[in-house]
């Protein structure tokens, strides 16, 4: 009789309240394994992983971690902390306001991915696993244990849809796999974070300072990575580590705090950025810093046009070029047709004004077009600018731009007697040429951020958003669509021109080939647009982060070479599939792309 009662259970669907883990280890053991694995991972980074210093970073030392081991250490520590927090250890609860399990899974994945990447890289580069010292095996085993343990943690499984018995095998397979996918998604989904306990405002500001300090450290570390392996490891650890913190709910709480103190956060971010040159011993990485800032500032300018006003501009880099050319012509360069040497302020005004005029000239006829047509026309204008600059060389046309040789030997700027070309000693730190320009560019970035914030919150900003959302309705509200769009175009153009004036001096030379539609070196129109879309349209932090990533990745991963654009395209497609609102989501955009998540909670009783 007993066999009869149990028989249906084997064929039926699993019970509705199934919370078993993804793999068949008892949850309690799994939790212990995950936490212990995390601790062991931390320990393993103090051991030697390989016997020869031939692998970059010198992982041969017992006693302290080096190179990639540091990254594994961070990920392992994160795993251990989340593991302990999942035991409800007093004093660690603040780490996991949205529940520990999902965060623990992602952290374990981060440790696993980084450690195994390292171990595989060592074996592949030195020729075989014999090159691993015991420490390497310990690390690999510890992270695997932690990952398996975390996967055994209980998961609130979604209820499976009932099967249609008439389904074919293929349909059943599709059905099962979609259910499995739902289960995996549930395993990595985090709960809603508990509401933030009210902190005194000085504590909140301390939190912001700490977060900015960590941000500066992570960024400086990323820029300073000296070899490909370390940068790849950095991307893995930073990406998955950030995801783990996001799952734990900490990121949500921090953004709540920063939203409450917006001005302090913005000022603090600039102070943190200004600290960057002081963390460097030479000018090598300040170069990268200043190029990132130029790229990011132009991307932020484009964000006004694309993100706020919704105008797809595919030739935006031309405005950077106009600003750069205008500034270089009044810089006193020997190849400039004008024998003029304006001071910096004059050059900035000329550069911005020239871009503004070009913006209005190009915008006035094209902004009457909508959607795709505008994109095509701006794409064309971007190319026209480059080809014209190439042809105004004295043979094909009048000599204005010196053709493909460009305007070269642009003298360094001198502001109030401060020669930007020479290194200066400030408080014991040597600030080199690129660091000087870094500070100057930071001021320009601040101006652009200010313009972005003020205009976004103003009447004109509301009009931009209205035009973007529904042009017909905006016109019916009495918004002069054409004028409002032209203002967006002109403001965006002049901000790009502003950045162009500095760019001309940083690079010494301005040539037409710096302003392509697409190329492997940013800034170009395609990368600028990608930085905006990848980072998050309509936000300030989004394009800055997007531009940093898009600059650093091709710059650091030299081995990608010819596959750079391929990898870039692939990454963009994946991002658009899984996070269409970009890395940093604007509140309104989030609504646009995830409408089901914000479905109406209450419907009117009389609703139609």
Q: How far apart are CB 459 and other proteins at their closest, in Å?
A: 7
Cβ distance to other proteins smaller for residue 77 or 475:
475
Cβ distance to other proteins smaller for residue 276 or 464:
464
Kindly give, in sequence order, each residue whose CB lies less than 8 Å from that of residue 462, ignoring residues fewer than 6 positions away: none
Q: How far apart are CB 527 and other proteins at their closest, in Å?
A: 28
Check binding of 608 to other proteins (CB under 8 A): yes
Query: How far is it, in rounded angstroms, from Cα 137 to Cα 241?
Result: 22
Asked if 328 contacts 410 with a C-beta cutoff of 8 angstroms, the reply is yes
Integer CA distances (angstroms), 195 to 96, 99, 102, 278, in order: 12, 13, 18, 38
Check binding of 480 to other proteins (CB under 8 A): yes
Q: Which of residues 439-468 bind other proteins (CB under 8 A)?
A: 459, 462-463, 465-466
CB atoms within 10 A of CB 178: 11
CA 578 to mean position of chain CA atoms: 15
Q: How far apart are CB 533 and other proteins at their closest, in Å?
A: 18
Kindly give, in sequence order, each residue whose CB lies less than 8 Å from that of residue 599, ignoring residues fewer than 6 positions away: none
Half-sphere exposure of residue 555: CA atoms within 13 angstroms, side-chain side: 21
Whether the upstream peptide bond of residue 523 has omega within 30° of 0, thus cis, is yes
Q: Which of residues 153-192 bind other proteins (CB under 8 A)?
A: none
Integer CA distances (angstroms), 224 to 61, 218, 221, 230, in order: 21, 10, 5, 10
Query: How far is it, in rounded angstroms, from Cα 497 to Cα 503?
Result: 10
Check binding of 607 to other proteins (CB under 8 A): yes
Q: How far apart are CB 262 and other proteins at their closest, in Å?
A: 19
Query: The tokens 């992270």 sit on which residue?
Result: 143
Half-sphere exposure of residue 404: CA atoms within 13 angstroms, side-chain side: 4
Cβ distance to other proteins smaller for residue 522 or 542:
542
Q: Which of residues 259-288 bind other proteins (CB under 8 A)?
A: none
Paired tokens of 430 = 């040597």
Q: Which of residues 549-588 bind other proteins (CB under 8 A)?
A: 588
Binding mask 11-50 vs other proteins (x if CB under 8 A, - otherwise)? Answer: ----------------------------------------
CB atoms within 10 A of CB 390: 18
Q: How far apart are CB 589 and other proteins at their closest, in Å?
A: 8
Among 477, 570, 573, 574, binds other proteins (CB under 8 A): 477
Paired tokens of 297 = 């500032």
Cβ distance to other proteins smaller for residue 322 or 484:
484
Q: How far apart are CB 596 and other proteins at their closest, in Å?
A: 12
Q: How far apart are CB 592 and other proteins at their closest, in Å?
A: 6
**How big is the site for other proteins, counted in residues (CB under 8 A)?**
30
Cβ distance to other proteins smaller for residue 10 or 472:
472
Q: How far apart are CB 534 and other proteins at their closest, in Å?
A: 21
Check binding of 473 to other proteins (CB under 8 A): yes
Cβ distance to other proteins smaller for residue 126 or 475:
475
Judged by CB under 8 A, the stretch of 93-101, 386-394, 488-496, 596-604 that binds other proteins is 596-604
Beta strands in 432-484 (DSSP E): none
Cβ distance to other proteins smaller for residue 422 or 473:
473
Query: How far is it, in rounded angstroms, from Cα 176 to Cα 184?
Result: 12
Integer CA distances (angstroms), 61 to 70, 123, 135, in order: 13, 18, 10
Check binding of 66 to other proteins (CB under 8 A): no
Helix (H) or strand (E) holding 47: none
DSSP reduced 3-state for 244 = helix
Check binding of 595 to other proteins (CB under 8 A): yes
Q: Which residues bind other proteins (CB under 8 A)?
A: 459, 462-463, 465-466, 469-470, 472-481, 588, 591-592, 595, 598-601, 603-604, 606-608
């Amino acid at each position: 009789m007993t066999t009869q009662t149990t028989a249906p259970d084997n064929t039926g669907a699993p019970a509705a309240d199934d919370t078993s883990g993804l793999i068949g280890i008892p949850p309690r053991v799994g939790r212990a394994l995950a936490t212990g694995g995390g601790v062991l991972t931390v320990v393993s980074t103090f051991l030697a992983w390989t016997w020869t210093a031939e692998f970059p970073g010198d992982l041969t030392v017992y006693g302290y971690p080096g190179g990639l081991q540091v990254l594994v250490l961070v990920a392992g520590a994160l795993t251990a902390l989340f593991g302990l927090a999942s035991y409800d250890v007093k004093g660690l609860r603040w780490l996991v306001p949205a529940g520990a399990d999902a965060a623990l899974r992602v952290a374990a994945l981060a440790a696993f991915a980084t450690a195994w990447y390292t171990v595989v890289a060592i074996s592949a580069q030195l020729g075989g696993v014999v090159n691993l010292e015991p420490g390497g095996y310990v690390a690999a085993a510890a992270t695997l244990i932690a990952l398996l343990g975390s996967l055994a943690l209980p998961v609130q499984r979604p209820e499976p849809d009932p099967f249609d018995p008439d389904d074919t095998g293929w349909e059943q397979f599709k059905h099962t796999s979609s259910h499995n996918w739902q289960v995996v998604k549930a395993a990595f989904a985090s709960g809603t974070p508990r509401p933030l306990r009210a902190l005194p405002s000085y504590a909140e500001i301390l939190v912001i300072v700490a977060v900015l300090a960590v941000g500066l450290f992570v960024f400086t570390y990323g820029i300073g990575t000296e070899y490909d392996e370390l940068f790849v490891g950095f991307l893995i650890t930073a990406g998955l580590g950030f995801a783990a913190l996001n799952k734990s709910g900490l990121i949500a709480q921090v953004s709540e705090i920063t939203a409450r103190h917006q001005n302090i956060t913005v000022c603090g971010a600039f102070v943190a950025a200004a600290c960057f040159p002081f963390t460097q011993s030479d000018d090598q990485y300040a170069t990268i810093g200043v190029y990132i800032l130029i790229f990011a500032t132009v991307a932020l300018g484009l964000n006004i046009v694309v993100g706020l006003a919704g105008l797809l501009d595919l030739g935006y880099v031309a405005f950077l070029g106009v600003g750069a050319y205008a500034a270089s012509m009044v810089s006193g360069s020997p190849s400039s047709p004008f024998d003029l040497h304006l001071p910096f302020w004059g050059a900035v005004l000329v550069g911005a004004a020239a871009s503004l005029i070009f913006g209005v000239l190009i915008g006035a006829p094209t902004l009457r077009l909508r959607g795709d047509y505008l994109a095509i026309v701006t794409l064309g204008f971007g190319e026209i600018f480059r080809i014209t600059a190439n042809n105004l060389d004295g043979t094909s046309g009048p000599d204005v731009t010196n053709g493909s040789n460009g305007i070269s030997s642009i003298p360094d700027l001198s502001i109030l007697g401060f020669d930007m070309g020479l290194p200066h000693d400030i408080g014991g730190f040597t600030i080199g040429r690129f660091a000087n320009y870094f500070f100057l560019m930071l001021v320009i970035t601040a101006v652009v951020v200010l313009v972005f914030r003020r205009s976004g919150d103003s009447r004109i900003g509301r009009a931009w958003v209205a035009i973007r959302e529904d042009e017909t309705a905006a016109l019916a509200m009495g918004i002069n669509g054409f004028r409002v769009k032209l203002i967006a175009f002109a403001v965006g153009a002049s901000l790009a021109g502003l950045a162009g004036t500095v760019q001309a001096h940083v690079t010494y030379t301005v040539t037409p080939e710096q302003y392509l539609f697409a190329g492997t070196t940013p800034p170009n129109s395609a990368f600028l647009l990608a930085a905006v879309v990848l980072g998050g349209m309509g936000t300030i932090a989004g394009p800055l982060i997007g531009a940093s990533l898009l600059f650093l990745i091709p710059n650091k991963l030299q081995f990608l070479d010819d596959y750079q654009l391929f990898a870039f395209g692939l990454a963009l497609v994946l991002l658009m599939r899984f996070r269409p609102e970009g890395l940093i989501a604007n509140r309104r955009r989030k609504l646009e792309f995830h409408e089901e998540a914000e479905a109406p909670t209450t419907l009117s009783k009389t609703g139609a």
